[in-house]
Amino acid sequence: MHKVLIIDDEKDILDSLSSILEDEGFQVSKATDGKEGLSLFEKEKPDIVILDIWMPELDGIQVLKRIKKKRGEAIVIVISGHGTISTAVEAVKMGAYDFLEKPLSIEKVLEVIFRGLGAEDRHMVKTEGFRIESAKGIHKFRQKTIGKSIVVYGVGLHSGAKTGMILLPMPENTGIIFEHIPDGERIPAYIDYVFSVGYASSVKGKNCMVRTIEHLLATIHMYGITNLLVKVSEEIPILDGSAIEICNRIEQAGIIEQQKGIEPLYINEMANIAGLSNGKSFHIEPSECFEIDYTLEHGRPIGIQRYYFKGNKDDFVAEIAPARTFGFLKDFEQLAKMGLGTGGRINNVIILNDEGVINTKLRFKDEFVRHKVLDLIGDIYLLNRPIIGKIVARQTGHLENLALVKELRKRFLN
């Protein structure tokens, strides 16, 4: 019988949560403050600790530090009724297994407990009925997740707010899921949930939205990650304007290949995507791998740039992930009037005027087209599966990328 220790100064939570967990077959100990909780932790040696952040005298962060010092492998689930993404990120960075916001969803509590115990399949939280399907047969790809939790700090490009995100390993068939903090709503990274204003790709649920997801999606696309929970407030951090830091964090966490497979989307016929204007175009055709041939045509100082990418993770990390977001100074002034782009800084966006780059040194002579490829790799992963085929693009942005994703789903997945 697994042991659970609950440390919380709210009696109602102690009583109701312990009753539910006992019904699920756990042996439960309860503490009303941090000092009592640490004493019970030493005595009972629980498998799981559920720890409230806000408590008198010893707060949850102090208790967490002491628990991890005593037993580094302890599985501690932090809970809070007044939490923010900063609180969540701090707790996970200090060793918490996960962070849950009050009022607690018992489904999520049980899911996190069983995931921590390595028994994920006993409790899976459904996200609006969304789950990826296992593939069988010789053409399947293995599903993958990350080896351990990742925490990332930064600011949002369009909100300008300090933010962060927590990436958590998830079991097979979960898919890529965003969870909003503090609301707790879960939103799949899938085309049906997309909401875009054209300057970034975003997903929207019933009550919440998560913005600027394309760099994260591009990275997990190229690493083959199919199951992941991303806890964030409203916007993915822009970091240095590229995806290279996310690559570095994923390398540190490692990749776990899971047992079940996922069926790729095979582009098995040639087609042009209709309805695009202003010189924008998409052409798709069969290929033995994932390929992108992108042409960017712009006035001074960018000119015409073309880049061919063949879907290899190592090439992505070296040649595409470091390419940064760019824009003209006049465009950022317009975005500011719209309440967007306020997180753009000298160190996270390439800013141009009609004469050239005004704030940094380019990492590649053709960094602009490479960044367009980065965005497309991210947007295309809103199908939540690998793609085998060639995409030829010209002048496209997020709106056109999302139109392509819808067309691919209609042609090859329905």
Cα atoms in the Cβ-side hemisphere of radius 13 Å centred on 309: 29
Q: How big, in percent rounded to 5, are the helix, strand and coil portions of the chain?
A: 30, 30, 40
Cα atoms in the Cβ-side hemisphere of radius 13 Å centred on 31: 27
Cα atoms in the Cβ-side hemisphere of radius 13 Å centred on 333: 5
In whole angstroms, what is the distance from residue 198 CA to residue 105 CA?
34
Cα–chain center distance at 108: 18
- SS3 assignment, position 312: coil
In whole angstroms, what is the distance from residue 211 CA to residue 230 CA?
12
Beta bridge partners of residue 27, listed in sequence order: 3
- SS3 assignment, position 403: helix
From 158, 221, 371, 398, the catalytic residue:
398
Question: Dihedrals φ, ψ of 144, to 5°?
Answer: -140, 155
Question: Dihedrals φ, ψ of 177, to 5°?
Answer: -130, 135
Question: Dihedrals φ, ψ of 125, to 5°?
Answer: -75, 125
Q: Is 398 a catalytic residue?
A: yes
- SS3 assignment, position 16: helix
In whole angstroms, what is the distance from residue 98 CA to residue 85 CA?
12
Contact 380, 387 (CB under 8 A): yes
Active site residues: 398
